[in-house]
Amino acid sequence: MLKKLILATTISLLLLSFISCTQMEEETGRDFPLLQTLQRAEQALSQGDESEAERLFKQVLNRDPKNPKANTGTGLINLLKANRNLLKLMGSVSTELRNKTKRRSPLMMLMDIEFSRIQRDLTDIVIDLEKAKKGLETALTFMTPGSTLTVYPNRFDWNEDGYTDAVSPLNLTFDPKGDGEKRLWWVLFDRPAPEIDSREFFDSNTRGDAWFDIQTINSLIYEDSLSPDYEPVFDERDHIVLTEKEIEVILGFLNLELSVLEPAIIYDLNPKPEFADFITTASNTLHQYANPLDFATQTLDTDQNGTMTNAEIRTILPESFLQFYSGQHGGVNAINDWKDALNDLAVIGLRLEREGFFDFTRADFKAFFEAINQAVNSEESFLLREGGIDEESIYIKPSAFFNKPENFDDLKDLLLPDIGYLTLNIQFPDPTFGGLIDQSLVLSLMRQFNR
């Protein structure tokens, strides 16, 4: 069962997040110029020319904003662009970290990361994902029951080498298992964390774009077995006909992806230059102090009263650090989009669970999606830690973050404590962390009990 779950998840993420060549059967009425434009867009997409396809699909949308095919096409193209750029960003960050001198401390290596660039790139990726979501939701709204979408995953130039080769295997740029095997299909089911040798995932020096074989997938899912010498054959049969239900599944995975990425652009995560300078100075001068903590206490506790206050600690951090990320899609907008993605994920997930979509695994997906819904929307508090005799129980209310984002506009106000290093006392500015942690219920019950 576990192998089937991994298989289904992997295939779904790759297939549904990177759909390329599409064909849709739908009513086009008697608008023949519109039909011709749609056919030209489809042909451009089948040839891997996503820019031309997108241009033509947008022409259709200018005349017919509700057109299911054009909305599907633009949605899938934006989904493709977002995930391709996400792979590039992952490869870039991995390479950036591996190229740092291994003798440096992890903290110093972390300071070398270009946080500003990463957040800019993530913002662009999220924007494309939001566009994809809007397009696919519109397509799903106006698709007829007879509308279908045929997907040919191998007909796209995945490795961007300028050629489309639908019958030769797609190759990775790294060797996941260390056995010399780089063909994507052959390593899909056993992928430890790879060491990426370049900024790309797919090998553009080796011809081949094929990785999807429907016969193999059917054998693994329904028969759960392959012969030891089995070799997939890539051909024109390797396609899937998607209906309204499959489009909904795509939206489910898309919302899952947004649920993971949206939090990364809520706050400014760039600690430079102030914190980077502080770490560099500390690294260069620690040998002058008897205790490593002496550097912090002597430089941050400016009045030397035994307490490093919130205000004193803030001096080594940029003012914008951990404040709402500037930009149209950051901050409160990202919080609202995150909430929408989580809610949509829960709604779609529960509907698919009721229809048996997750029957191939014993995992309790119903409980998972219900927990997401409750965490985002419920005004009730949930037990985080049950207190013992000398401890108070702690309850959390995640919905406070989504319902009152103004309480969280600067995390430095909540997370940076006053540290009494002589008395070993730590006092946070707001013990409830903006309403996320609720201990009042327990205290009230204790007072009633002691009466």
Average the pLDDT over 131-137 and give the result.
Answer: 95
For every residue of 205-254, DSSP letters joined together read TS---B---HHHHHIIIII----TT-----STT--EEE-HHHHHHHHHHH
Mean pLDDT on 330-341: 96
Q: What is the pLDDT of residues 416-447, one digit of tens each?
A: 999 998 888 888 888 888 888 876 544 444 44
Instruction: Kindly state the percentage of the chain with pLDDT values over 70.
Output: 74
Asked if pLDDT for residue 297 goes beyond 90, the answer is no
pLDDT-derived band at 20, boundaries 50, 70, 90? very low
Q: Is 349 a residue whose pLDDT tops 70?
A: yes
- The number of CA neighbours under 13 Å toward the Cβ of 319 is 0
pLDDT digits (tens, 9 = 90+) for 64-98: 999 888 898 899 889 888 988 887 888 777 777 66
b/e per residue, 328-357, with b = 16+ CB within 10 A?
ebbbebbbebbbbbbbbbbbbbbebbeeeb
Sorted by where each begins, the domain ranges of the chain are 2-256, 274-450
Averaged pLDDT score across all residues of the chain: 79
Span 164-174, pLDDT tens digits: 777 788 887 76
Pair of tokens at residue 13: 């993420």
